[in-house]
Amino acid sequence: MAAGELVETAAACDEADELRAKRAEFVLEPETVYLDGNSLGALPRSVAGRLADVVEREWGRGRIRSWGEAGWWTAPERIGDRIAPLVGAAPGRIVVGDSTSVNLFKAVVGAVRIAREEAPGRTEVLVDAATFPTDGYIAASAARMTGCAIRPVAAAAMAEEAGPATAAALVNHVDYRTGELHDLPAITRGLRAAGVRTVWDLCHSAGALPVELDAHGVDFAAGCTYKFLNGGPGAPAFLYVNEAVQGRFDSPLPGWNSHAEPFAMASDYTPAQGPVRGRVGTPDILSTLALEEALRVWEGVDIAAVRAKSLALTDFFLRCVAEYGPGEPRLRSLTPVAHERRGSQVALVCEPAEDARPALEALAERGVVGDFRHPGVLRFGFTPLYTSFRDAERAARALGEVIR
């Protein structure tokens, strides 16, 4: 297909896009194609004003009163309920706070402890073999703390590899490097049949595609909010605890914020009920309330429409790369073609690998912002709320020019 036809196709797709009005709610320069929202989402326009109000009025004039009057104290659960429909959870199952790493640590230890109550002989934790490195570090530390062995296993093989000694499994929903989407329903179902408690990392899926945590019986999940949820750099993460295990969740990080009566200042710890049990210390109010405001862009948005656009965008980008690019062996996609196995990014292997980083730098000079991972992988994240089909066409055309 000629370049002119691809431009026309992009324009037609943008015109038909039911989410196109959302782009105006973000701070984006028209000359820039931003395809790194899978690392840091764009800034929603209303966040700056909200933060100014929090600093000047709630903190500046309200001071300590704002913990109650401005709702600071209940923010972690309130914002968790805003995230809940985006990951298929009912209200009262998600709490916001801490980092993904900290929440995964709580979840893995909590999952092992529950499994051990049911079968004391369970002494193994499975971890996704291709996991983001920090997840592996956290899983190994949680295993040491609970007296378990750690065993890396490919996500697709988790269920068949699990056995009577397996206590918990930590799995990534989307592979951060390749963009491959793992089968959460089937893997969870298989692990549950083996008596294994599940912990899912949703960093690359929350806000990009339907997750349905409740429907599929996931025990625990955690994810960041600064990628597809656009919460800002270092925004607090979230922790999901299935209602069926909330009363049995024994967090390894009990803090005064998760106490049943936090202001009693009791020397003995009595855990609160519900998602509050996932809290630890005083929440970071500025970043937490920035996240709350950022989540307003999701009002009226159907996550199914987000998924449909994500697949259409990545399909179109791959089509444009094939048209504009030099083809194999210079560029080849690591991201699965099948929709049921694709997240919301496209990862391209550049050959030779040492050309990848200079290619990314040359793309940036042309106004296209992507991402790099060793060895020689170019990553392009597609955030359906603000990425257009014209963006996809421009990026692919610039990539072809750079590689050639």
From residue 148, alpha-carbon distances to 141, 145, 249, 363 in Å are 10, 8, 18, 46
- Which residue in 26, 132, 249, 317 is the catalytic one? 132
- E strand intervals along 354-399: 368-369, 371-373, 377-381
- 132 as an active site residue: the answer is yes
- 379 as an active site residue: the answer is yes
- Which residue in 26, 34, 105, 226 is the catalytic one? 226
| C-alpha–C-alpha distance, residues 147 and 324, integer Å | 54
Nearest CA among 336, 382, 39 for reference residue 182: 336
Q: Token digits for 162?
A: 């699990």
- Which residue in 177, 277, 379, 397 is the catalytic one? 379
Q: Token digits for 152?
A: 């890396």
List Cβ neighbours of 65 (8 Å cut-off, separation of 6 or more): none
| C-alpha–C-alpha distance, residues 325 and 378, integer Å | 14
Contact between residue 162 and residue 186 where contact means Cβ atoms under 8 Å apart: no
Contact between residue 274 and residue 329 where contact means Cβ atoms under 8 Å apart: no
User: Is 44 strand, coil or helix?
Assistant: strand
From residue 270, alpha-carbon distances to 149, 261, 302 in Å are 30, 8, 39
From residue 7, alpha-carbon distances to 3, 26, 162, 394, 401 in Å are 6, 23, 49, 9, 16
Q: Which residues of 9-21 are buried (b: 16+ CB within 10 A; e: fewer)?
A: bbeebbeebebbe
Report residue 244 CA to chain centroid gap.
23
Place of tokens 């104290």: 73
- 106 as an active site residue: the answer is no
| Count of Cβ atoms closer than 10 Å to residue 280 Cβ | 17
- E strand intervals along 157-241: 166-172, 197-201, 220-223, 238-241
| C-alpha–C-alpha distance, residues 88 and 286, integer Å | 27
- 219 as an active site residue: the answer is no
Q: Which residues belong to the active site?
A: 132, 201, 226-227, 379
